[in-house]
Amino acid sequence: MSDTADPPVFFELVPVGDDGTAAIVTLNRPDDLNAIVDATLDGLDQALDACVDDATVRCAFITGAGRAFSAGGDLKSYVDLQRDPVAFPAFVAKLHRVFGRIRDLPIPVIALVNGVAAAGGLELMLSCDWCIAAESATVADGHLNFGQMGGGGVLTLLPRVVGIQRAAELLITGRFLRSDELFEWGLVLVAAS
């Protein structure tokens, strides 16, 4: 990546009320549907640090640039990464740690799901306290479509939210849910139009 390339995660603060701010964290790899790579996790980690370090931050919103929230892991680099006996476990450990930090953040974290959220994108969504889905949102797991198991929490978090039967359906079939179904199933608090 060159020095002039856009960062994989944008972080900004916007005023809220008289003395607070809200953090807007934007995954910024729109040409790759905001697929998650190591640099994405580093950017999320830095954004979380900024949220914790700034006492004015009242809540954080996580969204994706362009037409996707996040398509999950970057399949272009993932095959090689998965074959590396050192790099792959390190990536999965970082994914667990960063998504765990989101779940443990002492402020509310809201996923603003626009477009596609699949696999790791679903896991990121599940790591947030609340989710708001745009009408364009479609969500699936899809790990099994590529012979993988989810590594970012989907196997434990999804059944807690939608129940075992519905979770099994999504995990096994990889079926995409529309925004109205996301609301019906309890995956999002609001399905916005």
87-100 pLDDT tens trace = 999 999 999 999 99
In a domain, 176, yes or no: yes
pLDDT of 2 higher than 60: no
Domain enclosing residue 18, as ranges: 9-191
Percentage with pLDDT > 90 across the chain:
83
pLDDT at 4: 52
DSSP of 7-24: PSEEEEEEEETTTEEEEE
In a domain, 1, yes or no: no
pLDDT of 140 higher than 80: yes
In a domain, 116, yes or no: yes
Query: Residue 97, class by beta-carbon neighbours within 10 Å (0-12 exposed, 13-18 middle, 19+ buried)?
Result: exposed
In a domain, 44, yes or no: yes
Q: On the CB side of 123, how many CA atoms lie within 13 Å of its CA? A: 28
Phi, then psi, of 191 in degrees rounded to 5: -105, 100
Whichever domain contains 179, its CATH number is: 3.90.226.10
Mean pLDDT of the chain: 94
- Tally of structural domains, the chain: 1
What pTM did the predictor assign?
Answer: 0.94
Percentage with pLDDT > 70 across the chain:
98
Stretch 48-54: mean pLDDT, rounded? 97
